Amino acid sequence: MKKNVMLMMAFLAFVTVTIAADPVDATKNKALAEKLMDSMRISQTMTSTLEMMKKMQMDMMSKRIKGKDLQNMEELNRSIMELVSRELSWEKLKGAFISIYAESFTAEELDAMIKFYESPIGNKLLDKQPELQQKTMQLMQSIIIKLMPEMEKLARESAEKQKKAEPAQPGVQPAPAAVK
C-alpha cells in the first residue's frame, strides 16, 4: 500500500513537472503574442469599433426618439460611451490580450499567425476589416431596429406581469406556507 502511494506521488510529481510551462517559453509566447497584436492592428481595430458603436447608437436613437428625450438620451449615450471607451481602451486591455494569446497558442502557432497577418493576403484582410465591420454593424442595426417594437412590447408585458405579481399593500409580505 505504502509502495503504491509512493509510486503515485512520484508519478504525479513527474507529470506536474512535465506539464508546467517553461518560463522561457512563456516569455517567448508573450513576446510573440505582442508582435501578433501589432501585426493584427488590434489597437486601431478597437478604436474604430468603438467609434462605429457610438455612431450606431446615435443613429438608432435618432430614428426612435425625438425632441428633448433625444437630447437626454444622446447625453446619456455619450457618457456611457466615454466610460466604455476608457475601460475598453487598448492601453488597459493590451496586457490581458497578450496573456490570453500567449496562454492559448504555442510559439509555432503564434509565429504562423504573425506570418499570415504580415503577408499580402493578411494585410488585405486587415485593410478590409473596417469596411467589413461597418457593413456587419449596419446589418445588425437594421435587424435591431425592426425588432424594437416587439422588444418594447415584451418589456411592457414583463412590467405588467411584475406589477400584477407584487402584493396589493406595499411592505406587507405574505405569510410563509405551513411546513408539514
Residue 14: all three cell numbers together: 513527474
Domain residue ranges in the chain: 22-148
Q: Count of CB atoms within 10 A of residue 44's CB?
A: 13
Phi and psi torsions of 176, nearest 5°? -65, 150
Answer whether residue 103 shows pLDDT above 70.
yes
In contact, 43 and 51? CB cutoff 8 Å: no
Higher pLDDT, 98 or 5: 98
Average pLDDT score over the chain: 80
Distance CA 54, CA 49 (A): 9
Phi and psi torsions of 22, nearest 5°? -70, 125
What is the model's pTM? 0.60
Instruction: Find, among 132, 152, 47, the residue nearest to 90 by Cα.
Output: 47
26-44 pLDDT tens trace: 789 999 999 999 999 998 8
Average pLDDT over residues 93-101: 94
Distance CA 177, CA 121 (A): 68
